[in-house]
Amino acid sequence: MKQEIFVYFIGTAGSGKSTLTHSFKEWMGLRGLDAITVNLDPGAENLPYDPDVDIRDWISLKEIMDSYGLGPNGAQIACADMLALNTSDVKNSIESFKTDYILVDTPGQLELFVFREAGKYIVKFLNPQRSIIAYLVDHALAKTASGFVSQLLLSISTNFRLGQPQINILSKADMLSKEEIEQVERWGHDPDELSNAISNEKASVYREMSEGLLQLINGFDNQSKLFPTGKEDYLGIEDLYTSIQLQFEGGEDLMKD
């Protein structure tokens, strides 16, 4: 049996995690590839897919709000911490599928999964060797140079926290023009162009800070390369899949079996 791969979709609220989890699963299904979806968001209301494994079977945001008299934000935090208590159940449920790809949709707010201990614990507990983070940069937040840099810093922070291989994605790229996508791609591989764009945007008092941050970003290989994806026509999903395969199988394609 092949070894499974865990793909975690992580990004700021509304960046398109649930939608990409759905499109990726559909795309795999169309190619006869085996995958399951796992929802780790206890507060998810309208998921675009029907999860194979669903944390809401064990934790309910509504129940936590009612039982502890918490508002939505407090309950979200309590639920995020409680995720760790259900990891064995989640793992057993995932294992019962005996599948190749496990597509994990994470809570709406990135900080609930990335910055609290439970997220890190879950990734390690489920499979520390064969996990990859698909980090979604929302198209709307990457259109300006300073937005782009801020998103990359959040991505680096996620990488630092979770310590797993990571692929950065420019999500909802179907909402951007060809020129806008090319602009983001150029910022990703031409540090001088990014630096000039930042200087045009930020007041000169930020010059030193900008230089320091750009130096930091440029110090990470591949951190600034973004894969454009979008829900129309499975835009970019094949490239994303190939990149994940390369990470784990040295390029061997499951489709060739």
Ligand X SMILES: Nc1nc2c(ncn2[C@@H]2O[C@H](COP(=O)(O)OP(=O)(O)O)[C@@H](O)[C@H]2O)c(=O)[nH]1
Choose one: 8-16, 83-91, 180-188, 236-244; the region binding ligand X (CB under 6 A). Answer: 8-16
Query: Would you count residue 210 as binding Mg ion (CB under 5 A)?
Result: no
The residue whose Cβ lies closest to Mg ion is: 18
Choose one: 15-23, 63-71, 116-124, 151-159; the region binding ligand X (CB under 6 A). Answer: 15-23
Residue 171 or 195 having the CB closest to ligand X: 171
CB-count exposure of residue 103 (10 Å: 0-12, 13-18, 19+): buried
Choose one: 13-21, 31-39, 236-244, 246-254; the region binding ligand X (CB under 6 A). Answer: 13-21
**C-beta separation of 112 from 120 below 8 A:** no
Which of 4, 5, 19, 142 is close enough to bind ligand X by CB under 6 A?
A: 19
Query: Would you count residue 175 as binding ligand X (CB under 6 A)?
Result: yes
Residue 110 or 198 having the CB closest to ligand X: 110
Query: Would you count residue 56 as binding ligand X (CB under 6 A)?
Result: no
Residue 7 or 214 having the CB closest to Mg ion: 7
Q: Which of residues 98-137 bind ligand X (CB under 6 A)?
A: 108
Query: Would you count residue 39 as binding Mg ion (CB under 5 A)?
Result: no
Tell me the residue type at 139.
H
Which of 42, 228, 230, 236 is close enough to bind ligand X by CB under 6 A?
A: 230
The least CB distance from residue 7 to ligand X, in Å, is: 14
Residues 6+ apart with CB under 8 A from 3: 130
User: Of 178, 246, 251, 235, which Cα lies nearest the Cα of 19?
Assistant: 235
Query: Buried b vs exposed e over 53-67: b needs ≥16 C-beta within 10 Å?
Result: bbbbeebbbeebbee
The least CB distance from residue 230 to ligand X, in Å, is: 4
- Residue 163's binding partner among ligand X, Mg ion, none (Cβ under 5 to 8 angstroms by kind) is none
Query: Would you count residue 15 as binding ligand X (CB under 6 A)?
Result: yes
**C-beta separation of 6 from 121 below 8 A:** no
Q: How many residues bind Mg ion (CB under 5 A)?
A: 2
* Chain-centroid distance, C-alpha 119: 13
The least CB distance from residue 2 to ligand X, in Å, is: 28
Which of 14, 147, 163, 191 is close enough to bind ligand X by CB under 6 A?
A: 14
User: Of 140, 148, 137, 138, which Cα lies nearest the Cα of 197?
Assistant: 148
Angle formed at CA 133 by CA 128 and CA 135, multiple of 5 degrees: 160
Query: What residue ranges bind ligand X (CB under 6 A)?
Result: 11, 13-19, 108, 171-172, 174-175, 230-231
Query: What residue ranges bind Mg ion (CB under 5 A)?
Result: 17-18
